[in-house]
Every structure is written in C-alpha cells, then in structure tokens.
Structure 1
Amino acid sequence: MQAIVYRDNGGPEVLHLVERDLPEPGPGEVRVRIAVSGINPTDWQARSGVAHRKLFPEVTPHLDGAGVVDTVGEGVDPSRIGQRVWVFMAAAGRPTGTAAEFAVVPAGQAVPLPDGAGFDVGASLGVPALTAHRALTVAGNGPSRLHPGALNGKVVLAAGGAGAVGHAVIQLARWAGAAVISTVSGPEKAKLATAAGAHQVVNYREGDPAAAMPDGVDLIAEVALGANLALDLAVLRTGGTIATYANEGGRKVELNVGQNMVLNSHLHFIVLYTAGPQARAHAVEDVSAALRDGALPVGEEHGLPLTRFPLHRTADAHRAVESGTVGKILVDVSEPRR
C-alpha cells in the first residue's frame, strides 16, 4: 500500500510517499481503507516536534479520516466489514495514522457514518468535533452531554468561528439549542461563521466588541486565550465558563484573580487526548447523534471551506495548514469518495 511517512521531526519536507506492507488488525481492531484523511494543527505540530518528540522510528501521520472497514481482528463483529466509518485519534500513541491507503485502529475509533454523511464530513470530525463537544460540556452549571435542548437558554460564544473547532462549536451548540455568538477577524470569516449557523457574528477588530454582546454569555469556547481573555471576562456572565482548547498567537495569559473571583468564573483547559475514555466515548455518541440529525455539514456553503490535496502532495497539505489556510485541509487517499 502507499503511505506517507516521516523518520525525523522537521518541516513538511520530511514527509515521504513510500510503499508499505498491508497492515493486519490485531484483537479488537479493524482495518479501514482510507478514502479521505483530515489534517489538524496537532498533526503538523507532532511532525515538527513542537507538540512532543517522535515516539517511533517511523510515523505515518494524521489522527482523523474516513473510509470503509475492509477486515476485522479477533473479537470484532465481522458484519462490520464494508461499513463506512469516520476515524479519530488514529495516530495517538501509535506509529500509523490515516495518511495511508489503509489504517488499523481500535474498533471503537472507527465510528459508523450515517448514509447521508459523506467521507468529507467524516474526515472533518475527529479532533475538531470531539474538542468542540468537550468545550460545550465542561461548564459547572451546564450539561455533561449534548442533545437537542441540552443548551436551551444558554448563550455560547465561539471564538474564531471560521476555524475547524469553532465551526464545530457553532454547529453543536446550535443543535443543542443555544443562542450562538461568534467572534471573527473580518467580513469573509463573518460570512463563514454565519453560514455555520451563528445567530450573531462580531468582528473583534472593529469598535467595542463587548458592547455588541450587552447581555453577556454563559460559555466561551476559546482558541486564543492570551489575546482574548480581556474580552471574554468583559462579556462572561456570573458563574460562566471559559473553555480553552488553544492559545493561538502564544500571548502570555495574565489573570486578574479578583475579577474572576467576583464573577465566580470557571477557566477550563482542554486537551482531548487526556480527557479520559468516558469523556471521549460520550463525545463520540453525541457527535454521532448530531451527525444523524444532519447538524454537521461541511463545505464553504456550510461555513467550512474544503481544500484538497492528493496523497503524494501531503507535504503541501501540511504547508497549507501551517500557513493558516481557512477551513479544513483534506487529503484524498483512495476512491470512491462521496
């Protein structure tokens, strides 16, 4: 089979297309013929060594993807063969991810795709959708699970609503009944956040963005805590939660303890990989329910533009992610794609 590998940390140039033996699933595993592989910032950070040092002599990257189960290991129901699935965390703690024609993963990390959901949708879920779910379910006064009506009466702020996680936050919060606000940096991104389903979009670079949210918000899914903390605290309701999953820009976070005490605020840091198996299992169940309801479409018309590369140009796909290309970067691995 064809696969992308790297043997040393570094820039996109360390990625190479190679031929490898077809992997065989072990007990409790399935082998998936990958149709589309999705790239996240975590993938290039792992490749470059920013996230963590390389754990294996050779690594096939990418956590997320979608395809068809083509064989199963011992203990897995053989009726799963032929099942369309979305794959998450394929390369987490393992040397082989979805940037290959076939990937072997634990059976629970290959989740059935509903008939109405294509492989593009499936490859765009994974890290972004599960992180968004986590951000929406950590509030002390909020729900621990998502379903229609779970966030009724709540106001959710999705910072950076044109990004993959922000896009998923908007869609999941809207599906769960929240009033959704999104902050963006310009008019083009405002169009995307609106297309994703945000009820209100605020350009944080114009005027007084806090004044545009006079009634405040209950929960903020934050992508750039250092840059946005002052605005977050200006609009956060008493007892509200800031759930931060990134600190884009790397600005130092300075915390006014007294201000947060008066607000009885909650500041929750999120990393999907250490959230625990139960939290991830609940996220998979709820995201799957939203998927069945048609609540997680992708494409520019739905607020998440797709940029595609063939497998042999995976290095260029990584460059696109690193350069901040808006939307989701996908790698087309094998046919059929639908």
Structure 2
Amino acid sequence: MRAIAYSETGPSSVLRLVERDLPQPAAGEVRVRVVVSGVNPTDWKARGGASPGRSTPFDEVVPNQDGAGVVDAVGDGVTGFAEGDRVWVFLAAHQRPTGTAQEFTVLPASRLVHLPDAAGFDLGASLGVPAMTAHRALTVHEGGPSRLAPGALEGRTVLVAGGAGAVGHAAIQLARWAGARVITTVSSPEKAALATAAGAHHVVNYRTDDAARAIRAIAPDGVDQVVEVSPARNAALNAQVLANHGSVAVYATDGGGEMSLDVRHHFALNVRYQFLLLYTVGDAALAAAAEDVSAAVADGALPVGEEAGLPITRFPFERAAEAHDAVEAGTVGKVLIDVAD
C-alpha cells in the first residue's frame, strides 16, 4: 500500500511517498481503507517539531489525525464494526506511528465512529479534531451541560471567536443545533458570509466594528459562553462582554501564549477560564464528544462546503506536502487529501 511518511521533523519536504506492507489489525483494532484524510494545524505542527531535523517518536510517522473511509478488516474481540461499514476516525496518530495519510490505517476500535449513509466522506474527514474540540468547548460551562443535544443550550448566548475557522465553524453549528443564540467575531466580510452560512445568528467584524459595543447590543446581559481561539488578543473583549458566571473555553493560542486579566473584574463576575487540549481530555470526554457529534451528523447539523460556511480545499494523495503547506499558510476552510476513490 502507499503511505505518506517522515522520519525526522522539519518542513513539508520531509514528507515522502513510500510503499509499505498492508497492516494487520490486532485484537481490539480495526483496519480502515482511507478514502479522505483531513489535515489540521496540529498535523503540520507535529511534523515541523520544535526544530527541524529532530528525531520522531517512532522510526517512521504517517501523519494526520482525522479521516474517513470503509472498514476493511476487524481484529479479535471487536464488536460494533464489520467489514464494509462507513466510518470517520479521530486521533488516528495520537501516541501511534500511523495516521490517515495512507491507503489503509489500523487503529483501536474506540477511535472509529459510524458515518451515516447520508453523510459524505468529506464531512467525515472534517469532524475529528475540529468538531470534538468544539464539543468540549461547549460543555465545560459551570452550569453545564456536559453533553450536547437539541435544546441542551436553550437560553444560552454563545460567542464564538473566529467563526470562519474549522473549530469555530463546528462550534457555531453545534451550538445552534443545541439551541443557543450564537454570536461570532470575524475579520472580513468574506469570513462574515461564511460564519452566517454556518448558522451564526449575529456576526461582528472586529476590525470595523466596536466589537464590545456590538456584542452588548445583541446580548445586554452578557455572553454566557465564549469559544476562544485567541485568548491573549481577546482577553479585554471577553471581560467586557461576559455575563455573571460566564465561561471562556480556550482551545488555541493564536495571537500569543500569554494573556493579562483584570483579576478584580473577573472575581466580580465569577468567571471561569477553561483550557482544553483534545489529546489529554480523557477517554470519557472523547467518547461523549464522538457520540454527540455523531448525533449531530445524523441530524444534518454539521454540513461542510462553502455553502455551509466551510470551503473545501482538496489535494491528490501525491501532493500531501502541499496540503500541509496550505494549512500552515492559514487556508480558510478545510483542507482534505483524496486518498482513494
């Protein structure tokens, strides 16, 4: 089988197309014929490493955490999956040497989720890191809920920072599906159109608007939950718009790794800052996210494509390095690699 692999960290040029033996699933594992592989920022960052030329955690690494395809073989002891099942996978390369940038991948059954017949492989490969991160960000509020479903966020106002990004897009869709009123911030009219297509009720352009005033006009009592991509840059804005007992779920450090907070102001509002990293949230949180995201997919609540607010940029398998470069360059929307027909 063909695979994209690297054996030392560095720029995308370390990726090479190789031929490897077909892997066999062990007990508790499933082999998936990958149709589409999804690329996330975490994939190129892991490949780039802290500095070029460093050794990798395994002799050879196949990148990309997310993907979608068809079950090809099932190991001993696996229940719930059978050959021919359509699935999406998450954290395929977490603490493992092989992700989804290959024609067949083997992974624990716990990292597979059934893909409804009405959902395409592009959608399946776009879930994983973005949708599960968004789920976690929406379920760490002091007053709950810990799970998402229609009505779970009824009466809540959710502010999604950077609504045109992959996680922001999923957060808008999931919050809307769960019944929240959704406000999002963007940096351009083009991104505003994408966030609106994703389902945001209100869109604020922070470059041209007084963002705090605009958000307060929409939510005079403040925002209950913030899904935050840039805590350092947005700390002052969040302080101005948070409601009492409001929470800020931080999933990235765009704009810098340090932030300043007015402690007295946040004391008075009983604010909670919750930082989250999908790789270390624990199995229970991952399982809950997978189940709820799957339910949202079945309800048709997580579409992708430009008409749904998440443009798709795709590359053929042989140009996987270009796909990594596109994500690193900040391509708006989702970058996918076509692995098979």
TM-score per shorter chain, which class? Answer: over 0.9
- How big is the shift at 1:263? 1.0
* Identical pairs, percent: 63
- How big is the shift at 1:257? 1.1
8 A Cα contact 1:196 1:303, kept in partner: yes
Distance 1:260 1:13, change over 3 A: same
- How big is the shift at 1:80? 1.2
Question: Deviations 1:22-79 (Å, cap 9, x if unpaired)?
Answer: 0000100000000000000000010001499731111000000000001010111486
Correspondence for 1:255: 261
Correspondence for 2:59: 57
2:19 maps to a residue whose letter is: E
1:1-338 matches, cutoff 5 A: 1-50=1-50, 54-77=56-79, 80-214=82-216, 215=220, 216-250=222-256, 252-335=258-341
8 A Cα contact 1:227 1:251, kept in partner: no
The 2-side partners of 1:175 and 1:296 are apart by 9
2:164 match: secondary structure: coil
Question: Deviations 1:204-227 (Å, cap 9, x if unpaired)?
Answer: 111311111122210000001101
Aligned residues: 335
8 A Cα contact 1:46 1:54, kept in partner: no
The 2-side partners of 1:139 and 1:50 are apart by 33
The 1-side partners of 2:40 and 2:320 are apart by 13
Question: Deviations 1:112-156 (Å, cap 9, x if unpaired)?
Answer: 000110000000000000000000000011200000000000000
8 A Cα contact 1:46 1:53, kept in partner: no
2:196 maps to a residue whose letter is: T
1:229 maps to a residue whose letter is: A
1:148 match: secondary structure: coil
1:129 maps to a residue whose letter is: A
The 2-side partners of 1:326 and 1:256 are apart by 33
- How big is the shift at 1:251? 5.3
1:34 match: secondary structure: strand
Unaligned runs of 5+ in 1: none
Unaligned runs of 5+ in 2: none
- How big is the shift at 1:250? 1.6
The 1-side partners of 2:42 and 2:323 are apart by 13
The 2-side partners of 1:129 and 1:109 are apart by 14
What TM-score, normalized by structure 1, do the two folds share?
0.97
- How big is the shift at 1:249? 2.2
8 A Cα contact 1:26 1:74, kept in partner: yes
What TM-score, normalized by structure 2, do the two folds share?
0.96
The 1-side partners of 2:55 and 2:207 are apart by 37
8 A Cα contact 1:72 1:78, kept in partner: no
Distance 1:168 1:320, change over 3 A: same
- How big is the shift at 1:252? 2.8
Question: Deviations 1:85-137 (Å, cap 9, x if unpaired)?
Answer: 00100000000000000000111211100011000000000000000000000
Question: Deviations 1:244-273 (Å, cap 9, x if unpaired)?
Answer: 000112253112211111110000001011
- How big is the shift at 1:16? 0.3
CA RMSD between the two structures: 1.3
